Amino acid sequence: MSSVKRILLVFVCALSCLGLRAQGFSLSGVVTEKNTGNPVEFATVLVEASEQWAVADAKGRFTIKDISVPKSVITVACLGYVTYSIEISITKDIPSFKVQLAVDNLTLEKAVVTAKENGNSATTARTIDKTALEHVQMMNVSDISGLLPGGTTRSSALTAEQQFNIRAGSGENGFSSFGTAVEVDGVRLSNNASYLDVRNYGIKGVSTNNIASANVESVEVISGVPSVEYGDIGSGIVKVNTKKGKTPWQLTLSTSPRTKQLSVSKGFALGYSRSGAAAGVLNASMEYTRSISEQMSPYTSYVRRQVSLVYSNFFNTGAFQSKPLRISAALTGNLGGLDNSADPDLLVGTYSRKRDNALRGSFTANWLLSLDWITNLEFSASAVYGDRLASENKQYHQSVTEIALHARGQGYYMSAPYVPGGENPVVMIPAGTWYNVMSVDDRPFTAKATLKANWARHFGAVSSKLKIGADWSADSNFGVGLYSEDISQAPSYREYRYCDNPWMHNIAAYVEDNLMIPAGSGRINIIAGLRNDNTVIRGSAYGVTSSLSPRFNAKYTVLEEKGRRGRFVRSLAFRGSWGVAVKQPSFSILYPVPGYLDINTFTSTASADNVVYRAFYVHPSTIEYNSALRWQKNHQSELGVEANLAGNKMSLVAFWNRTLDTYQLNTDYDRFTYNYTGTADVQGLPIPAGDRVYSLDPVTGIVTVADKTGRYTSVQAPHTELKQLISRTFENNEPGPVDRYGLEWVLEFKEIKPIHTAIRVDGRFYSYRSTLCNLIEYSPYTTTGRDGMPFKYIGYYYGSNQVANGSESRSLSNNITITTHIPKVRMVLSVKLEASLLNYSRALSERPGGKRTYVVQDRADVLGFDPSASVYDGESYAVLFPDYYASFDNPVREPFLDKLRWAKDNDPELYSDLSKLVVTSNYLYQFGKEYLSPFFSANVSVTKEIGDFASVSFYANNFFNNMGQVYNTKTKVYESVYKYIPSFYYGLTVRFKF
């Protein structure tokens, strides 16, 4: 017996001894297929009230013992079948509970091709199941965003990374997509170990491109306040569930103008051992997807080759007879990525490739203990490893010596020819043409382990489900960052080994209770939880950061649907939620790739063979640790109402989210004086250019010219002392909140039976507002001072050094989906009209207690601003003055505007320089209200099953090929509607089962 088994057995025995067996009744029965009567093996039977469960054996039989709840909803689910639920009383042993499961296909009376509201949830959660996924022919799981209320359809190719962004818009403060968590079969996909350049790209959420789409069984989107078991989130969770269970072979072929897909999958039942124990089920799937960005140039492609194996089994014999154990282990590998090497328009031999390889493994064990103090114990562990090596082979050319900087230490450096094995801080690459491959080795790794226990109890009619858990997660990156295989000809780059940075560990503990209290003919559901996260980053200034995330959900079901079929108000429920979600930072925030300021302090003339020497002062501009950095928090709250009125279902949710302490990269300035030697300073020296050897004092930067032939004596070149401000950046928290609120509605009208047609109206009103408040330092670097020297003044601006320090937007979108489902011909046809009825945005310039920007008529006369006029009234130029300024020579901040006024009359040179810190708007309509006229798009989808053997789906987005224009009230121009809706696009999928 292995040590692991031994430990497990001891643990089982200990629990058996410690635990007091619950007294209760048993539920036994059989699960069969409705039409054939065949047993449904591996069907899961769940007693929802007590959270006890069983798995059906080869004959469809199951038994759940020690049920101590008087009544409960029994849910029976199995892959390929419609989930069955029924509420029963369990006041005695039930020996022969029979369940018939219907095969999930279009012969059923009901087929839903939109997102379904999770009616039992106390927060906003929606599920998109297999029927809907197949109907929309999802190629990227983020495509399902279009099925959420007010969602719009995209026809995106996989050549661009796609992310989820729940209850937020693009281009907003707060990095909302970074805060949207994505899980595949419980495995968290994270971008925490990303080193994406924050300065240029912001912080994005995890890409969904490498998640195979054909093997997805369902996707659940939790937009509201989730359970405390979900940590490291900002707003929203997307849970992708793949197929698990016994299935026939399934072959899927999809095509659209830009994407082709082939997938094969099967769920193998592995039989039973001689002792009668189930050997489990192995689900295997393979998918090949290739996507191009443009039909006209189909050479830049993204390929996804994915293999997935999921083994699941349950143990209910021997030691586990009374305490069954269910396990699942999964391994998924993806090979693929972006590649443009086939593009004939590129220079021969050049290419750009980016891997998107991934390996995901997970293990989950759920042990039904059914003890008085614990019901289930669940352990799960997962690891995700990514290989995102990005390589680019480029052609380089210089007609004089090229300089490549690799120096990382502060100081002066003179360029020198490459020395194999040497330090080579500043390499001279001989003039000519050459090729070099630069790569970014980015290999993020995330591991997570969770131990969770739940305890279902009853206090009379009140039921309680207590959940206690702890989890540990760790993020690291095994990549070495930027590198070249041939440093002798590599362009400037600095080594920054991702793998040398410390791991980020997070240890969390949480507790949550889910109370169900009967109330009249309805019930009240209260969920309250608290999560504590402790992020540990050893070896850095961040140390240990602790945060608390309380969550609270309440739902009052006034009327339940059961027994009210003939009534007008068949069900009615109200709910409210509030919670705080804390998002851990990414490595690009914690350890951003350092930047370097390379000041060219000397450039020689070119010799006859075009050799040029250059000297540099290298100033590492590393992003400083901010030990006071707080983790970004999102306060979520929502109110909802759900009702069934005469068979018409409605759901209305109002939400308000406020994100605090958003991550923001700030800049401050250091003062630096260096010695500069101009080309003219060495031109004309008696030493012939070809014989010169340039050397440099590494401390002073003074250049000495020597004659390699020895004919002339060495000469020290003259130099000039220059002063320069050097920027430094650091991660900071922005105190200005990011506010988002909105309304989501879904109206599902009762099916019009004679024509098998249902109408659904869903939509969303969304509002966003954010202004920045940090005092921002800024010194323009593309201008000189009045004295012709580097600019030496720094401005301190409220919120931003732009005339706007924020923005607001509002949008209203509404979709009408008409679905005709004809079971007899096994076909479903849907037409979805997507309407954008309000699309508003406006730049903001605000500060508490006063004006931040002023109206100015003549931008060259900034002091002629009108102190009383508002930039929001009519069209006008706006001017922003920094609050303070400081100079290279005087770091003390002085009030800006008074000094500018004084300088205008008394110091023209200072006035000229300070004027360069004044920011004006470029357009008269900078703060104008931007309304877009309404625009529409219609999409058509049809799915037809051909017996049980095959099905075909076809879709056409923007079916009517709307090529209209949208009027922009701000710019007063008409724009193509294609900027907002997809152009006519179509796709076809054929599925075979055998």
Partner 1 sequence: MMFMKRFVYLILVFAAVAAVTGCEEKVVPLDIQIQLFSDNAPLAVAGVDVAISDASNVYTVATDAAGRARFTLLPGTYSASATFKTVEGGKRVAYNGSNPGIVVSNVMLYPSGEDAFRLELQKVESQQLVIKELYNGGCPQNGGAGSFSNDAYVIVYNNSEFEADATDLVFAFMPPYNGHAANKFYGADNTLIYADESWIPAAGAIWSFTSSVKIPAYSQVVVAIFGAVDHTATVDASVNLANASYYWMSNSGVAQYSNKKYAASDVIPTGNYLTCYPFNMGNAWTLSNSAPAFFIANMSKSENERISNDTANFDLTNGNTNVGWSVKFPKSSVIGALEVYSASNIEKSMPRFTPELNTGYVALTNKMGYSIYRNVDKEATEALAENTGKLVYGYAGGTEDVNGSTDPSGIDAEASIAAGAHIIYSQTNDSGKDFHQRKTASLKK
Q: What's the min distance (Å) between Cβ of 840 and partner 1?
A: 22
Q: What's the min distance (Å) between Cβ of 900 and partner 1?
A: 11
Write the single-letter amino acid at 454: N
CB nearer partner 1, residue 241 or residue 784? 784
Q: Which of 778, 801, 845, 807 is nearest to 854 (CA)?
A: 845
Q: Which residues of the shown chain bind partner 1 in the complex (CB under 8 A)? A: 347-348, 395, 397-400, 403, 431-433, 598-600, 603-610, 612, 614, 676, 678-680, 683-684, 688-689, 722, 780-784, 786, 788-790, 801-802, 859-861, 911-912, 915-920, 922
Query: 645 with 722: CB under 8 angstroms?
Result: no
Write the single-letter amino acid at 514: N
CB nearer partner 1, residue 550 or residue 688? 688
Q: How many CB atoms lie within 10 A of CB 825?
A: 12
Q: Which of 587, 406, 416, 415 is nearest to 484 (CA)?
A: 406
Q: What's the min distance (Å) between Cβ of 174 and partner 1?
A: 24
CB nearer partner 1, residue 148 or residue 689? 689
- Report how far apart the first and last C-alpha atoms of the chain are (Å, whole number): 41
CB nearer partner 1, residue 750 or residue 979? 979
Rounded to an integer, what distance in angstroms lies between the CA atom of residue 426 and that of residue 412?
A: 10
Three state DSSP letters for 237-253: EEEEEECCCCEEEEEEE
Instruction: Output the six-digit token pair for 778.
Output: 């800024």
Instruction: State the residue for tokens 């960005």.
Output: 293
Q: What's the min distance (Å) between Cβ of 303 and partner 1?
A: 28
CB nearer partner 1, residue 39 or residue 491? 491
Q: What's the min distance (Å) between Cβ of 863 and partner 1?
A: 11
Which run of H or of E encompasses 759?
A: strand 757-771
Q: What's the min distance (Å) between Cβ of 921 and partner 1?
A: 8
Looking only at the bridges linking them, the beta strands covering 237-242 and 216-222 are antiparallel
Q: What's the min distance (Å) between Cβ of 923 and partner 1?
A: 8
Backbone Cα Rg of the chain: 33
Q: What's the min distance (Å) between Cβ of 614 and partner 1?
A: 8
Q: What's the min distance (Å) between Cβ of 485 and partner 1?
A: 20
Q: How many CB atoms lie within 10 A of CB 64?
A: 25
**678: helix, coil or strand?**
coil
Q: How many CB atoms lie within 10 A of CB 200?
A: 6
The phi and psi torsions of 9 (rounded to 5 degrees) equal -65, -45
CB nearer partner 1, residue 890 or residue 922? 922
Query: 979 with 966: CB under 8 angstroms?
Result: yes
- Looking at the DSSP bridge assignments, the partners of residue 649 are 644, 748
CB nearer partner 1, residue 120 or residue 679? 679
Q: Which of 760, 761, 758, 747 is nearest to 821 (CA)?
A: 758
Q: Is 673 exposed, middle or buried (0-12, 13-18, 19+ CB in 10 A)?
A: exposed
Rounded to an integer, what distance in angstroms lies between the CA atom of residue 330 and that of residue 309?
A: 6
Cα separation values, 414 from 201, 456, 603, 617, 896, Å: 33, 73, 10, 9, 40
DSSP assignment of 483-525 equals EES-GGG--S-----GGGSPPEEEEEEEEEEEEEEEETTEEEE
CB nearer partner 1, residue 391 or residue 603? 603
CB nearer partner 1, residue 297 or residue 971? 971
Q: How many CB atoms lie within 10 A of CB 627?
A: 10
CB nearer partner 1, residue 388 or residue 792? 792
**117: helix, coil or strand?**
strand
**685: helix, coil or strand?**
coil
CB nearer partner 1, residue 358 or residue 404? 404
Q: What's the min distance (Å) between Cβ of 507 and partner 1?
A: 45
CB nearer partner 1, residue 460 or residue 684? 684
Q: What's the min distance (Å) between Cβ of 801 and partner 1?
A: 8
Angle between helices 908-915 and 896-906 (to 10 degrees): 140
Rounded to an integer, what distance in angstroms lies between the CA atom of residue 79 and that of residue 43?
A: 8
Q: What's the min distance (Å) between Cβ of 196 and partner 1?
A: 24
CB nearer partner 1, residue 496 or residue 617? 617
CB nearer partner 1, residue 636 or residue 802? 802
Looking only at the bridges linking them, the beta strands covering 426-429 and 416-417 are parallel
CB nearer partner 1, residue 609 or residue 866? 609
Q: Report the half-sphere exposure of 335 (CA within 13 A, side-chain side).
A: 2
CB nearer partner 1, residue 403 or residue 653? 403
DSSP assignment of 43-56 equals -EEEETTTTEEEE-
Q: What's the min distance (Å) between Cβ of 483 and partner 1?
A: 24
Q: What's the min distance (Å) between Cβ of 592 and partner 1?
A: 21
Q: Which of 557, 525, 517, 566 is nearest to 643 (CA)?
A: 557
**660: helix, coil or strand?**
strand
**462: helix, coil or strand?**
strand
Region of 779 please: left (phi>0), alpha (psi -120 to 50) or beta.
Answer: beta
CB nearer partner 1, residue 552 or residue 613? 613
Q: What's the min distance (Å) between Cβ of 672 and partner 1?
A: 13
CB nearer partner 1, residue 17 or residue 348? 348
Q: What's the min distance (Å) between Cβ of 432 and partner 1?
A: 5
Instruction: Output the six-digit token pair for 529.
Output: 């939880």
Cα separation values, 648 from 437, 746, 828, 977, Å: 62, 10, 20, 34
Q: What's the min distance (Å) between Cβ of 732 and partner 1?
A: 21
Q: What's the min distance (Å) between Cβ of 582 and partner 1?
A: 35
